[in-house]
Amino acid sequence: MAFETAWAELSEVLGDRVTRSKPERDAHGASETYFPVAAPDAVAYPETTEEVAALVRICAAHGVPVIGYGAGTSLEGQSQAFSGGVTVDFARMNKVLEVSQGDMHARVQPGLTREVLNEELRATGLFFPVDPGANATIGGMASTRASGTTAVRYGTMRDNVMALEVVMADGRIIRTGSLARKSSAGYDLTGLFVGSEGTLGLITELTLKLHGQPEAITSAVCAFDTIGDAVRAVTDTIQMGIPMARIEFVDAATVQVFNEYAGAGMVEAPHLLVEFHGSESAVAEDAGTFGEIVGDHGGHGFKWAADAEERKALWTLRHNAYWAIVNARADTRAVVTDICVPISRLAEAVEATQADLEEHNIRGPILGHVGDGNFHSILLFDPADPAELERVKAASDRMVQRALEMGGTATGEHGIGVGKKAFMEREHGEGWQVMGQLKAALDPDNVFNPGKLVPDTST
């Protein structure tokens, strides 16, 4: 078998940093959501770009798939090995290589997690803002075009990756982008690799934009009688141009879990969680205006975080929401939806989702990054009940259909993997075939992450 020959060559290059141990293979084939384990044939831990290139050349020569792996926090099966092959775990390529305070950028390795990056940046007065909740790796975040709670202010990975080093399917090592803040020098290769989910190449280095730590930060929660009221308060705030650093929505069902799981002591109603960054005076002014808008929409129970401790507790609660919801009942798994719609349609999209779930008797707490028009419903099902999984998938399908009819997208930040491939043709039409042409051009033998994102090929 092709893999056996490749294995001998890989062991020669990587020594004991490539393994066929079953526990490690299974751990790297696991899903955070509802996919069964799909383990690779081996797991490799390269330490240099040259090792990655050597590994890719060996696997390509033997027709063995190569799957990139960061922290395994993706939600659509992106890092699972559905066709076997070698999973490349970047855990040993996890360093901050360079920080430029003057130019506000950092050069890092893909296996670095965002939390470690920000710890290392603390003394510089700078930070990396993209925050998907999970302590994902920077390489994984780039590959999924991640965003999260701060995108409304600081943008997504698309906006915060300046340059890349990438190993191509034939083992070539290329550099994309530059340290300049803008460029018109040809096709935007950086932008092409960001969001490509390891299907076009393996990212081995990234240069990131950094931002100044704000002089002042203030966070608050407030409750609303209806989902529509909460969402309309957000759209009004955006349309008035008030710069929010984070603006999150959670519905009553999510609050219920917060209370049970973390003793949050919140009234069981839809809430907004908001944060402002800026100078002391700007933050105070913005918070004041926001308070007025909230009042206009019947918001109540306004509570500002008293200090950094309380602020941190608030966002920890939000970040742990997914796990809290899934763990609220034993033997529960989830299909996580991720639609994103134009802001003007957001209230309608959320209300239609809630009505749909009620009608079909599906438990699906709703929460999301409403400043971007992006929200999730965590559709719960019992893994022992295949019919329930089918009902949940049908509900997810209807959510996507409504989002597309509103001009939106099936996924604001989680990506495609295998879990959302069924929506690609509907969203992109012939454009999905164009993605397949790009894949075939750069990875003609389908070495990188086969079966994900692009149309299936006949090979």
Site membership for its own copies, residue 168 (CB under 8 A): yes
Q: Which of residues 327-346 bind its own copies (CB under 8 A)?
A: 338, 340-344
Distance in Å, CB of 186 to its own copies, minimum: 5
Rounded CA separation 149/315 (Å): 9
Q: Are residues 87 and 37 in contact, defined by beta-carbon separation less than 8 angstroms?
A: no
Residue 292, amino acid: E
Q: Considering the rule CB under 8 A, would residue 416 count as an interface residue with its own copies?
A: yes
23 touching its own copies, by CB under 8 A: no
Three-state secondary structure string covering the chain: CHHHHHHHHHHHHHHHHEECCHHHHHHHCCCCCCCCCCCCCEEECCCCHHHHHHHHHHHHHHCCCEEEECCCCCCCCCCCCCCCCEEEEHHHCCCEEEEECCCCEEEECCCCEHHHHHHHHHHHCEECCCCCCCCCEHHHHHHHCCCCCCHHHHCCHHHHEEEEEEECCCCCEEEEECCCCCCCCCCCHHHHHCCCCCCCCEEEEEEEECEECCCEEEEEEEECCCHHHHHHHHHHHHHCCCCCCEEEEECHHHHHHHHHHHCCCCCCCCEEEEEEEECHHHHHHHHHHHHHHHHHCCCEEEEECCCHHHHHHHHHHHHCHHHHHHHCCCCCEEEECECECCHHHHHHHHHHHHHHHHHCCCCCCEEEEHHHCEEEEEEEECCCCHHHHHHHHHHHHHHHHHHHHCCCECECCCCCCCCCHHHHHHHHCHHHHHHHHHHHHHCCCCCECCCCCCCCCCC
Among 159, 348, 351, 356, binds its own copies (CB under 8 A): 159
Shortest Cβ 74–its own copies spacing (Å): 10
Decide whether 206 or 424 has the Cβ nearer to its own copies: 424
Number of residues that bind its own copies (CB under 8 A): 81
Nearer to its own copies by Cβ, of 43 and 406: the residue is 406
Give 344's contacts (C-beta < 8 A, 6+ positions apart).
235
User: Is-contact 216 286, C-beta < 8 A?
Assistant: no
Using alpha carbons, select from 29, 85, 38 the residue that is nearest to residue 62. Answer: 85
Tell me whether residue 239 or residue 316 sits nearer to its own copies (CB atom). 239
Binding mask 236-275 for its own copies (x = CB under 8 A): ---x-x----------------------------------
Rule CB under 8 A: which of 435-454 touch its own copies?
A: 435, 437-438, 440-442, 453-454
- Please state the closest distance from residue 327 (CB atom) to its own copies, in A: 25
73 binds its own copies (CB under 8 A): no
| By the rule CB under 8 A, 434 interacts with its own copies | yes
Minimum distance between the CB of residue 303 and its own copies, rounded to whole angstroms? 27
- Do 340 and 408 contact (CB within 8 A), yes or no? yes
Q: Which of 41, 229, 275, 372 binds its own copies (CB under 8 A)?
A: 372
User: Minimum distance from CB of 441 to its own copies (Å)?
Assistant: 3
Rg value, the chain, Cα: 22
Assess 175 for contact with its own copies (CB under 8 A): yes
Q: How far is the CB of 235 from its own copies (least distance, A)?
A: 7
373 is a contact residue toward its own copies (CB under 8 A): yes
Contact residue for its own copies among 420, 446, 449, 450 (CB under 8 A)? 420
123 lines the binding site for its own copies (CB under 8 A):
no
Q: Which is nearer to its own copies, 275 or 413 (CB)?
A: 413
Q: How far is the CB of 437 from its own copies (least distance, A)?
A: 5
Binding window for its own copies (CB under 8 A); candidates: 4-12, 49-57, 154-162, 328-336 = 154-162
Binding mask 185-224 for its own copies (x = CB under 8 A): xxxxx-xx-xxx---x-----------x------------
Contact flag: residue 413 with its own copies (CB under 8 A): yes
For its own copies, give the closer residue by CB, 44 or 283: 283
Q: Please tell me whether residue 457 binds its own copies under the rule CB under 8 A.
A: no
Residues in the chain, how many?
Answer: 459
The only residue of 11, 49, 100, 401 in contact with its own copies, by rule CB under 8 A = 100
Least distance in Å: CB of 408 to its own copies?
Answer: 4
Distance of closest approach, residue 124 Cβ to its own copies, in angstroms:
12
Closest CB to its own copies among 290 and 432?
Answer: 432
Least separation, in Å, of the C-beta of 347 and its own copies?
Answer: 11
